[in-house]
Structure 1
C-alpha cells in the first residue's frame, strides 16, 4: 500500500526535550506530528528523512546500523546535548537509495558515520516516541537546486510502495534574523503563495516550485533556502498527488506563519 510523503516544519532546536523551559510553545506542532502515524495506511518499515540540516557536495546517505546524535544547535540548555533518540538505521534502505540515485547518474555516496541531526530527531520524537522505526537520512546537495531535488524525489518514489515513509524536514519560513512581529505579514504572504502553488499537481506545481524565489516575500522568508528544499524532494516523490495542509500556525514564535504538508 502506497505511503504518502510529507514536508514537515520541525520547529526550533531540540524542543521536545524542553517542555519545562518552553511550555506550550510547540503544542500545536507536536499535536500535528503525533497524528501522522495514525493517518497512515500502514505502519512504515522505515523512514527516509531529507533534512535541512545536512548538506554535502553531491548527495550522501546515512548508512550506519546504529546512528548516533548530531547536536547541531547552539545556546540551548546543557541537558539538550545529552539527549538520545536511539532509532536504528537501515543499511539495506541506504543501499537501495544509493542504487536508485546512482542509476540515474547522480553523485551519491554512503556515509557510515553520520548520525541523526535535530531536523530529524526533533520531529520523529513525537511521531515515534519509542524510536522503534528505522531511520535513514539523505543529505541535500549543497547546490540547493530545486529542480534537481524534485528529480531526486521522482527517483525515490518507488520506495513509497515498499513501506518507506519519505519526509522532507525543514521550515516553511526560515529567517532567523527576522522572527519578530515585522515578519508576521511577510511570512503569511509567502505561506499563502506556497499553499496556492501546492494546490496544483504535476508539471504545473513543479514549475511554480522551481521558480519559488520569485514568489511574494520569498527571500524574506528564506534568505537561504536550505529549509525549503526538502519540500522539493517530498513533492517530487508524489508529483501527481494532491496535497493537504496538516499543520498551520500564524503565531509560531509569537508572529510567524508556518505550515506542514502531506502529499498523497
Structure 2
C-alpha cells in the first residue's frame, strides 16, 4: 500500500451524537439540534473528499476486548426508549466493511491490546444518528469499534495510537459521545458545571501543547466538575481514541453551544489538519 502524503491524511473527530434518534424528530424537537446538525453536516466540506470508510467509536458499545463490527450489512439497534413509534422504524443503511474490520483488529493486536470480531453487530444510535447528518445518503461504508470495559483513558489513547495508520488509508476515525453527559442534571441548572468542565476540556485539547494532551486526559477525573459532568465516563472516552490517533497534531473546536437543551455548555473537536478549515 502506498502511503499518502501528510497533507492527504484525514483528521480525526470527537463529536456529540445527540439524544436518541434526534434527526428523525425535527418536528418534535424544533431548533434544539440546529447547530449540532450544521456542524456535523460541515464535516465532509472540512475533509475535502469522501473517505473510503468510517471507523466509528461509539459511547454505546462496551466489550471485554476492543471489538470490531464485521457485519457486511449491519442492522439497526434501537438502543433508546420512550421515543415516538416511528423512530423504531428508521434506517441508516450504510454498508459494513469486513475487510476494514480485519485490518482494525490486526492493528489493535499489533499494539498488544486485546481485540475481537463481532460478525452480527448492528449500528447503534451513537453511530447512525450523527451519520444521518454527516452523510445522509449512507453511501460511505462504516465499521463500529467498541470501547473496552473499565474505560481506562490511557488504554483508549493507546487504542487511538494503534489506529493512526488508518488515517493514511483514507479511513475517517470518529469518536462519538458528548462532552457533558449527566442525564440526572440536564438543563439550565447544569450550566455552571458543564461550563467548568468544558473550559477545562478546551484548554486541555486545544490551547495546551499536543504533547501533553494524553497525560491531561488520563487525569480527566481531577478536572473541575469532572464527575458532575460525567458520573460515568463512557461518553467522554471516545475523545481519547480521537486524540490518540492524532497525538501530535492541532486540536480545533468545531462545535460549541453555551445553552444546549436550555443551558448546557457542550463542544466537539477535530484533530489534525482539514483540507478546508
Q: Please, which moves more after superposition, 176-185 or 127-136?
A: 176-185
Q: Please, which moves more after superposition, 193-202 or 94-103?
A: 193-202
Shift of 1:143: 1.0
Matched, 1:134 2:154: no
Shift of 1:68: 0.5
Matched, 1:206 2:214: yes
**Is the contact between residue 182 and residue 229 of structure 2 (CA under 8 Å) also seen in structure 1?**
yes
The Cα offsets for residues 199-232 of structure 1, whole Å up to 9 and x where unpaired, read as 2244311111100000000000000000000000
Cα distance in 2 for partners of 1:143, 1:58 equals 10
Shift of 1:41: 3.5
The Cα offsets for residues 111-146 of structure 1, whole Å up to 9 and x where unpaired, read as 011000000001000110100000000000011000
> What residue in structure 1 maps to residue 253 of structure 2?
245
Shift of 1:34: 0.6
Shift of 1:43: 1.6
> What residue in structure 2 maps to residue 215 of structure 1?
223
Runs of 4+ in structure 1 over 2 Å off: 199-203
> What residue in structure 2 maps to residue 3 of structure 1?
10
- SS of the residue aligned with 2:179? coil
Cα distance in 1 for partners of 2:62, 2:145 equals 9
Q: Which of 82, 91, 98 is matched with 1:91 structurally?
A: 98
**Is the contact between residue 175 and residue 220 of structure 1 (CA under 8 Å) also seen in structure 2?**
yes
**Is the contact between residue 201 and residue 239 of structure 1 (CA under 8 Å) also seen in structure 2?**
no
Matched, 1:236 2:244: yes
Cα distance in 1 for partners of 2:187, 2:239 equals 24
What is the TM-score of this pair, normalised by structure 1?
A: 0.99
Cα distance in 1 for partners of 2:142, 2:243 equals 20
Q: Which of 77, 84, 91 is matched with 2:84 structurally?
A: 77
> What residue in structure 2 maps to residue 168 of structure 1?
175
Cα distance in 2 for partners of 1:155, 1:202 equals 17
- SS of the residue aligned with 1:67? coil
Cα distance in 2 for partners of 1:26, 1:115 equals 25
- SS of the residue aligned with 1:20? helix
- SS of the residue aligned with 1:3? coil
What is the TM-score of this pair, normalised by structure 2?
A: 0.94
Q: Which runs of 5+ in 2 are unaligned?
A: 1-7, 273-277
> What residue in structure 1 maps to residue 190 of structure 2?
183
**Is the contact between residue 63 and residue 114 of structure 1 (CA under 8 Å) also seen in structure 2?**
yes
Cα distance in 2 for partners of 1:92, 1:216 equals 42
Q: Which of 53, 59, 62 is matched with 1:52 structurally?
A: 59
Shift of 1:58: 1.3
Q: Which runs of 5+ in 1 are unaligned?
A: none
Q: Which of 239, 250, 256 is matched with 2:264 structurally?
A: 256
Cα distance in 2 for partners of 1:259, 1:202 equals 18
State how many pairs are aligned. Answer: 264
**Is the contact between residue 210 and residue 250 of structure 2 (CA under 8 Å) also seen in structure 1?**
no
Shift of 1:107: 1.5
Q: Which of 108, 113, 116 is matched with 2:120 structurally?
A: 113
Cα distance in 2 for partners of 1:147, 1:255 equals 31
Cα distance in 2 for partners of 1:163, 1:33 equals 19
